[in-house]
Structure 1
Amino acid sequence: MNRSLEEDLERYPRISLTRLPTPLQALPSLSAKLGPRLFIKRDDLTDLTFGGDKPRKLEYEVARALAQGADTLVTCGSSQSNHARLTTAAARKVGMDCVVILSRDQYQQLQGNLLTVYLMGAQVHLVETSSHWDLKPHVQNVYQSLLAQGRKPYVIPVSGTTPQSSLGYVRCGLEIARQMREQDLQVDAIYTPFGTGGIFTALLLSLREQGITCPLIGISVNQKRASCYEQLETWWKALCSLLDRDPGGPRGVFEIHDEFIGREYGDPTEDCLDAIMLMGRTEGILLDPVYSGKMMTGFLAHQAAGRWSAEHTILLLHSGGGPALFAYAEELGMHLKKRGVDILS
């Protein structure tokens, strides 16, 4: 007899780092403005240091680190990395040290996520690199240095995505399914950001097993569709292996869109800034320019093209990232002025 996902998840160690479940809320004002009935999954409201999606992943990675006797978490990302903020917070919560290796870029002012990392006492290395996705050699150098000092480091990769950490979003899929049942909610599509692909893949697996068959739509924030599909295959096989599922099982309808990235990862496109303003001015919810703002950009483009009408119900995943807004103050200020806002100075 096949075990349930809940039973299979219990086989893997996990440490509680944040308050769950996060709310699944209606968006009445935005719905009235756009037409479709809209809901949002508030993973920006995890309560670990300004929240976001990473605590769900880190609950598994930190448990593994503690089981191995590690005393220091080591990770990497962009200068305004949400993952660096939340890995540092997780380390402090369980009494560990943290080292973060961050790429130098145009957003390295001492504010937003970078400020929080310093406030929580992480050891910060800012390095020159073409992309924060290429920091692995720098991480390895720091890892070896810590070993030489007699420390016990544990490395968590960029964005925190591993097969084990993705189990956090298998759990989230179960949580969404339970909340939909409680609210008697049926949706026509679910939108998520697509970064490294762990969240998207884990939700796809979990939601399908719970009988939720609507399209899962990923909006890429950093890479072309072909690379996204490659990552989906990697995480799908790994998760199926961990959870004893057939990798050839049905996945249902899903989509990945890469046309909303802009020039590069973290590019605050005009449409993205408009999406942030719209959500803020209708619902008082702030999206970020890197992940949730791009997800919203994709949904709004599909809505404007006539894909969704008043007969449809859509669920949006807010993955957090709010502190990064402050590093984009200049771009946001210019955009507000462009939209006719009189900013006092």
Structure 2
Amino acid sequence: MTSASDVPRPVPLGTWPTPLEPMPRLAQALGLGADDLWIKRDDLTGTGGGGNKIRKLEWLCGAALAEGATHLVTTGAPQSNHARLTAAAGARLGLETALVLAGSPGGAAQGNLALDALFGATVVWAGDVHGQALTAAAEEVTARLRADGAVPALIPFGGSSALGARGYVTCGRELLTQAPDVDTVVVALGSGGTMAGLVDPLGPERVLGVHCGAVPDPATTVSAFVSDLSGTPHAPGSLRLRLDQVGEGYGVLTGPVMAAMNLTARTEGIVLDPVYTGRAMAGLIAAVEDGDIAPGRRTVFLHTGGLPGLFGHTAAVEAAVSDLGTRSRTL
């Protein structure tokens, strides 16, 4: 574990604390009490359209600046929220950004890809690679930049590392100030750093992670980050996880996720995305149905952002437009 004196200080990128707001109509629709369900608005973090990655990037970009970086390099899927926010952070800090994305060019640049371009990022298409192969592609880009005289900083997938997770240690402490009686915090589990950061101050019993299919072994991934943060081994089996919302895989829309998106939008006017927050809400709904989340206890849904990704997800847009057609009338 790195000592506190060795950790670079974060660079300001967001607006803190983010609001904690009630969701009484959604709570009642789920059979909970009107004061039981709240939402932590980490979709309103500021830079780049907001989202949870800003908390991580404050620490990761702080380390990059301390090392004299001129470029940021990171990885992701074509509609990666993390890639979009890394590009925004780079623009704000005066750093060039290279986004190494899985897939190949082609089709309309919608959703997060349009914002990547707006922020001036360079997109490097890595082909049909994932996991370690995608990381290796980013390392190759980093090596090329270094050979050309640049000082690149490689930002990990999803911004998830023990350093990046410190942003969510701070968020967990915010929550304890805003809602000291919180029983359960529900969060999308993507690359693992957000959940790990929350577990550090809140404990594993109060954090329910809903697996989104971004990593093959979510329990081990999160536990490794928690261990790095605390300096002591953490047992994967102590984590509260739901693995039932992945469906056919990362990025593939499911019926329960679309239903969760519709219900949240129509009861609270809150927009979720089809990959992360939609899955997290579907997991919350399933947890109410099976009794893991009970009436009379304070539950907080952590909104990690991701709105631009909705507009780059063809199946979700088509589902929403199709539903609009059934509701349309002419005068």
TM-score (norm 1): 0.86
Per the alignment, residue 231 of structure 1 pairs with 221
The residue that corresponds to 1:176 in the other structure is 175
Which of 245, 262, 269 is matched with 1:277 structurally? 262
The 2-side partners of 1:333 and 1:149 are apart by: 44
Contact 1:189–1:216 (8 Å) recurs in 2: yes
- List aligned pairs for 1:1-345, cutoff 5 A: 12-36=8-32, 37-104=36-103, 109-131=108-130, 134-181=133-180, 186-208=181-203, 215-222=206-213, 227-241=217-231, 246-247=232-233, 254-334=239-319, 337=322, 341-342=326-327
Q: CA deviation at 1:217?
A: 0.9
Bigger Cα displacement from structure 2, 92-101 vs 28-37: 28-37
Note the C-alpha offset of 1:277.
0.7
- State the distance in 2 between where 1:240 and 1:312 align: 28
Superposition CA RMSD, Å: 2.7
Change (3 A) 1:143 1:69: same
Any conservation in 2 of the 1:219–1:294 contact (CA below 8 Å)? yes
Counterparts of 2:328 and 2:143 in 1: how far apart (Å)?
49
Question: Do the aligned partners of 1:82 and 1:113 also contact (CA within 8 Å) in 2?
Answer: yes
Percent identical among aligned pairs is: 34
Write the distance in 1 (CA, Å) between the matches of 2:315 and 2:222: 35
What SS does structure 1 have at the residue aligned with 2:73? strand
Matched AA of 2:319: M
* Aligned counterparts of 2:256 and 2:299: Cα–Cα separation in 1: 20
Say if 1:189 and 1:314, in contact at 8 Å, map to a contact too.
Answer: yes
Letter aligned with residue 318 of structure 1: H
Residue 176 (structure 1) shift: 0.7
Contact 1:79 1:107 in 2 (8 A): no
State whether residues 104 and 125 of structure 2, in contact with CA within 8 Å, keep that contact through their aligned partners in structure 1.
no
1:35 is displaced (CA, Å) by 2.4
Amino acid at match of 2:10: R
The 1-side partners of 2:293 and 2:228 are apart by 34
Alpha-carbon distance in 2 for matches of 1:9, 1:23: 30
Aligned equivalents of 2:277, 2:143: Cα separation in 1: 35
Q: Distance in 1 between matches of 2:237 and 2:249?
A: 30
DSSP 3-state at the match of 2:47: coil
In 2: Cα distance, 1:10 partner to 1:206 partner = 21
Q: Secondary structure at the match of 2:283?
A: helix
Deviation at 1:339, TM superposition (A): 8.4
* Separation in structure 2 between the aligned mates of residue 99 and residue 162 of structure 1, nearest angstrom: 19
For the residues of structure 1 that align with 2:255 and 2:41, how far apart are their CA atoms? 24
TM-score, normalisation: structure 2: 0.90
Please list every run of 5 or more consecutive structure 1 residues that lacks an aligned counterpart in the other structure: 1-6
Give deviations 1:286-335, integer Å, cap 9, x for gaps: 01111111110111112233444432331111111110010124433235
* Preserved contact between residue 204 and residue 251 of structure 1 (Cα < 8 Å): no
- Which residue of structure 2 lines up, in the alignment, with residue 4 of structure 1? none
- Could you say what secondary structure the match of 2:217 adopts? helix
Amino acid at match of 1:328: H
SS in 2 for 1:199: helix
Answer whether contact 1:273 1:293 (CA < 8 A) is retained: yes
Q: Distance in 2 between matches of 1:105 and 1:47?
A: 30
Which ranges in structure 2 are unaligned for 5 or more consecutive residues?
A: none
CA 1:105–1:336: 2 relative to 1, 3 Å: farther
Q: Per the alignment, in what secondary structure is the counterpart of residue 101 of structure 2?
A: strand
| Alpha-carbon offset, residue 337 of structure 1 | 2.8
Q: Write out per-residue CA displacement over residues 214-265 of structure 1, whole angstroms, 9 at most, x where no aligned residue.
A: 53211000167x8112112211221113xxxx446x9996411111111111
- Paired amino acid for 1:47: G
